[in-house]
Amino acid sequence: MAGTAVLGRLNWRVADVVEVRPETSRTKTIAFDVPDWPGHQAGQHVDVRLTAEDGYQAERSYSIASASDASTLELTVERLDDGEVSPYLTEELRPGDAIELRGPVGGYFVWDSSAAGNVFLVAGGSGVVPLMAMARQRNAEGSGIPTRLLYSARALEDVIYRDELAQLTQEDGFDVVYTLTRAQPSGWQGYDRRVDRDLLAEVAPAPPELAVSFVCGPTPFVEAVAGALVELGHEPMRIKTERFGPTGG
């Protein structure tokens, strides 16, 4: 964990919204100013709590999108139409509003600046968020750790952070491989199917060269990817997963 600041009981903090930025038709990035934020590691998340006028509370966990050195804390949230929290965060929040959050939490699914070998990031849909924090962290540190992101999205317009990812690939040792599972633009040269064992065999670094894989996405996606990586000879202990589901709404 990053120092002693995370020790001790977690307290809810008031976070002020400073910016709301659309990323895709279903996702927005919300930037918060959090007084006395203790800092975080790429891959950690926060719990967000909303309280209704009648006292009813709903709590959800969201991955942090920003690198640890960023001036604001950013969350990228996908709107789930039947969700309790995400429609409010993506549609109602405005700069100047405040919400309650606590964190950062989690120490397991975090970027390791000392990784010896390649790092393989595998994203399903908005599962790219904590992996983007890692890519940003890597860039901020000027890290030379060879890192590949495999990003599965339904269509090109559903790809979050597309321009910034293109910029990051200008850095040495970072590249992105896309697969678009439902719709592809004409002339698309990339993959056009769900991530399966054959695709991973082509894209993933070979087991001896791979220090760690981080896989984040909906539960069935993570199951399929982690299972196929093990079949390809990757050590289960070196595959870190973060599943999310409708309970994340």
Partner 1 sequence: MGALMLDGNAAAGVLQEIFAVEMTTAVGTCDSCGAAGEVGRVQLYRGAGLILRCPSCEAVLMKIVTSGTRAWVDLRGLRTLQLNA
When binding is defined by CB under 8 A, the residue of 3, 8, 142, 187 that contacts partner 1 is 8
Nearer to partner 1 by C-beta: 194 or 240?
A: 240
When binding is defined by CB under 8 A, the residue of 3, 7, 71, 163 that contacts partner 1 is 7
Using CB under 8 A as the binding rule, whether residue 214 contacts partner 1 is answered as no
Least distance between partner 1 and beta carbon 198 (Å): 26
What x/- string results for residues 105 through 134 when contact with partner 1 is judged by CB under 8 A? Answer: xxxxx-------------------------
Nearer to partner 1 by C-beta: 197 or 240?
A: 240
Using CB under 8 A as the binding rule, whether residue 78 contacts partner 1 is answered as no
| The total number of residues written for the chain in this structure | 249
When binding is defined by CB under 8 A, the residue of 9, 36, 56, 116 that contacts partner 1 is 9
Which residues, in sequence order, are CB contacts of 44 under 8 Å at separation 6+? 63, 64, 103, 104, 105, 106, 107, 109, 110, 130
Give DSSP secondary structure letters for 191-226: B-S---HHHHHHHSPPGGGEEEEEEEEEHHHHHHHH
Using CB under 8 A as the binding rule, whether residue 1 contacts partner 1 is answered as yes
Least distance between partner 1 and beta carbon 153 (Å): 21
Please state, in angstroms and rounded to a whole number, the distance separating the CA atoms of residues 27 and 43. 18
Contact 207, 234 (CB under 8 A): yes
Least distance between partner 1 and beta carbon 46 (Å): 8
Using CB under 8 A as the binding rule, whether residue 146 contacts partner 1 is answered as no
199: which 2 tokens? 């695709």
Find, among 249, 242, 16, the residue nearest to 129 by Cα: 242
Helix (H) / strand (E) containing 88: none
Q: Could you tell me where the beta strands, DSSP code E, fall in the chain?
A: 13-22, 27-33, 45-51, 57-63, 73-78, 98-105, 118-124, 147-153, 174-180, 210-218, 239-244
Nearer to partner 1 by C-beta: 36 or 172?
A: 36
77: which 2 tokens? 């949230």
Using CB under 8 A as the binding rule, whether residue 39 contacts partner 1 is answered as no
Nearer to partner 1 by C-beta: 162 or 243?
A: 243
Using CB under 8 A as the binding rule, whether residue 52 contacts partner 1 is answered as no
Using CB under 8 A as the binding rule, whether residue 94 contacts partner 1 is answered as no
Question: Which neighbouring-strand residues pair with 163?
Answer: none
Contact 233, 197 (CB under 8 A): no
Q: Which stretch binds partner 1 (CB under 8 A): 45-53, 67-75, 84-92, 179-187?
A: 45-53
Residues that bind partner 1 (CB under 8 A): 1, 6-10, 44-47, 61, 102-103, 105-109, 219, 237, 240-247
